[in-house]
Structure 1
Amino acid sequence: MEAAVPKREHPRVKRVLLPSFYLAPVEYYAALLHAHSAQVEVHDHYQKQSYRNRCVIAGANGPMTLSIPVEKAKSDTAPMRDTRISDHGHWRHLHWNAILSAYNSTPFFPYYEDEFRPFYEQRIPFLHDFNERLRQLVCRLIGIETPVSYTTRYIECPNENQQPSGEGTFQENGKLERKRQTKGSKQQEQKGQAEQSEQLDQSDQTDERIIDLREAIHPKRPSCLTTPPYYQVFSERLGFLPNLSIIDLLFNLGNESRLYLAQISHPRHFSLFL
């Protein structure tokens, strides 16, 4: 069954604020593609039963959740960036076998298998690093070139007229690069903040949209995304399963994944593509 893709494309928003997810669902990458730039929140608290350590794929018997075990934090307020992956239960072996079983017969899995396998053969200590390296790989394979930076502090409820701050940028080596402050730079920083405030006042007149999606994409909440059916291996028996992990789209549609993401529609209350 060929993908039924709407013809209408949506204008891009200025910036989105996103959490760090494990092989995030389709709507996450749709939002990322449609933004001029994005920030990933790394100072939020780790949340259980979220996409931060889990993804959902299409198993032979229906949706299958893959969860990464994490070590217990020393504090309930520990930031996401400090959350460590646990080696308990041979989860890497189990996850890769589940992915093989689910997607080995898809049209494009053979082309991408060698790109993903190393993530399940090596030990990456921190969940954030693991998630972001996978995200970088997915963006490269799909062709999503939206610049991504990282927050340097927790962003308090930004709205459409507020620009999230942060100077981190994601480099090719997967590390978070931060600008260093030299002695005497505080005065320059204060001056820069005043100038930035003035610039933000001016930006209010240019319809600059900042969309906070940190809590919008969650396995316990229905998706705001309207996803036309695309080919899935088990669709004849299970029907179409919407908004699964991005690898479901990638392994089934391959290089057409970007076109699908570019044209799928959102309802107005999602406020991304108005």
Structure 2
Amino acid sequence: MTSILHPTYFPNIAHMAVMAQSDVVTFEMDDNFAKQTYRTRTYIYGANGKLLLNIPVVYTQKNRQKYRDVKISYAEDWQSVHWKSLLSAYKTSPFFEYYEDDLRPLFETKAEYILDFNMNCFEVISECLQLEKSIQETQEFKHDIVGASDLRHLVNPKSDLNFQNEKYTQVFDDKHGFINNLSVLDLLFNEGPNALDYLENQDLSL
């Protein structure tokens, strides 16, 4: 199966399950940017429940921009906030320390463009998961896709509500219960080396 997806900020489990079960993954690199999507956000499991981590960008709705041309804003120290949030949420998880050194540099180096940063995140996550896939990139935007499963709609947080991943142990599930389809980081920190098998066995009736 060949799947076409948007690169996102630490992809959620639905995104990663698609990638794990695809023979070829094609990333959409030539689309127009849209706000309030997984391009700039991910969700983790904090002490008070579902927690949004959002990357600020330099963008205006008045002038259309390609995703690849949108720059990250560093007016606020969001990197420090996101890393402290991950520490607070997952420092007691079984595998956080195992992956901490791989992930920390992403929050210490300032990437200029959001697309480049998301690709960097994907590369690091792939190494942590030991996910080896044939990766392709689009050269031009096409509305209709032939010969591949078009799952670009999953970039919209409202588009994957039918996806229910199997339960696994989460750090705060005794307080708030199981929270579905969080960032792959939640799965990685809680399941460690078993995370890839988990992704490969999810039902993708999206």
Q: 2:142 aligns with which of 134, 137, 155?
A: 155
Q: Distance in 2 between matches of 1:155 and 1:76?
A: 21
How many Å separate the matches in 2 of 1:152 and 1:266? 27
Measure, in 2, the Cα distance between the counterparts of 1:74 and 1:98: 29
Partner of 2:106 in structure 1?
Answer: 119
Superposed CA deviations along residues 19-40 of structure 1, whole A, max 9, x for unmatched, are: 0100010010100011110111
CA deviation after TM superposition for structure 1 residue 82, in Å: 0.8
Q: Distance in 2 between matches of 1:228 and 1:87?
A: 37
Aligned to 2:126: 139
- The correspondence of residues 160-175 of structure 1 with structure 2, limited to 5 A, is 162-163=146-147
> What residue is the counterpart of 1:105 in the other structure?
92
Q: What is the aligned-residue identity percentage? A: 33
Report what 1:191 is aligned to. none
Matched, 1:248 2:186: yes
Name the residue aligned to 2:197: 259
Counterparts of 1:226 and 1:215, CA distance in 2: 17
Q: Which amino acid aligns with 2:170?
A: Q
CA contact (8 A) 2:7 2:115 kept: yes
Larger Rg: 1
d(CA) in 2 for partners of 1:87 and 1:229?
36
Which of 216, 221, 224 is matched with 2:162 structurally?
224
- Taking the aligned partners of 1:74 and 1:101, their CA distance within structure 2 comes to 34
Q: Secondary structure at the match of 1:96?
A: helix
1:18-37 pair list within 5 angstroms:
18-37=5-24
Contact 2:18/2:204 (8 A) holds in 1: no
Q: Mark the runs of 5 or more structure 1 residues left unpaired by the alignment.
A: 1-12, 164-209
Q: CA RMSD in A?
A: 1.4
Q: 2:65 corresponds to which residue?
A: 78
Q: CA deviation at 1:216?
A: 3.0
Task: Tell me which moved more, 214-223 or 58-67.
Answer: 214-223
How far off its partner does 1:74 sit?
Answer: 8.8
Contact 2:165 2:202 in 1 (8 A): yes
In the alignment, what sits opposite 2:34? 47
With over 3 angstroms needed to count, the CA separation of the structure-2 counterparts of 1:222 and 1:29, relative to structure 1, is closer
- Residue 31 of structure 2 aligns with an amino acid whose one-letter code is D
Residue aligned with 1:264, SS = coil
